[in-house]
Amino acid sequence: MFADEDLHRRAAENIARADALLFGRVTYEMMEAAWRPLARAGVRPDWMADWMEPFARTIDAARKYVVSSTLDRVDWNAELVRGDHLGKAVLELKRQSGKGLLVGGVKLPQALAELGLIDEYEFVVHPRLAGHGPTLFAGLSKHVDLKLVSRLEFGSGAVAMRYEPRGSHRDC
């Protein structure tokens, strides 16, 4: 995937609209390694274009919850959620008033879908055939029927589609 300026802006907007981010361990470690150095050092890494800075600053400032059974501690404005208490922990976070949680990763969204804890999905389809890599929701035990609620096309040809589960409280 190639994330251009428009996609970075969209991701930063989504993060800014959420109360917190919910990451699995792998996604958390990957995001921290990529985006935290700018905030720490105040110097943009060589690979980072200037238009990536707003995303880096937004994700750095965001409150984060990290689901892991193997990590002993996290920082980077983060709190640890034990994987064996995932359903209970996410229900508690959802009960807190606010704008909601933004979930990232591959395995974590599947676990949350299994538990029926996802209120909205956003898929970004890129105009590139990869032929490899992780498959989202591979092994999901039951169908989740979705209703398209918005669609946004980017100049790169990528398309962001937002869905809600059919039969949800919003599907009235």
**What are the tokens at 162?**
């937002």
* 169, pLDDT greater than 70: no
What is the pTM (predicted TM-score) of this model? 0.87
* 28, pLDDT greater than 70: yes
Helix (H) or strand (E) holding 114: helix 107-114
Beta strands, E only, 17-169: 20-24, 64-67, 78-81, 101-104, 121-125, 146-153, 159-165
Mean pLDDT to the nearest integer, 45-65: 93
Mean pLDDT to the nearest integer, 24-38: 93
Mean pLDDT to the nearest integer, 41-54: 88
* 7, pLDDT greater than 50: yes
Question: What pLDDT score does 82 carry?
Answer: 85
Average confidence score pLDDT of the chain: 90
Kindly give the residue spans of alpha helices, DSSP state H, lying in 18-102: 25-41, 53-61, 86-95
Q: How far apart are CA 108 and CA 136, in angstroms?
A: 10
Could you give the percent of the chain with pLDDT greater than 90?
70
Of 155, 150, 156, nearest to 164 by C-alpha is 150
* 170, pLDDT greater than 70: no
Dump pLDDT digits (tens) for 64-112. 999 998 999 999 999 999 877 899 999 999 988 688 999 988 889 999 9
Q: How far apart are CA 76 and CA 85, in angstroms?
A: 22
Candidate from 60-64, 79-83, 151-155 with smallest mean pLDDT: 79-83
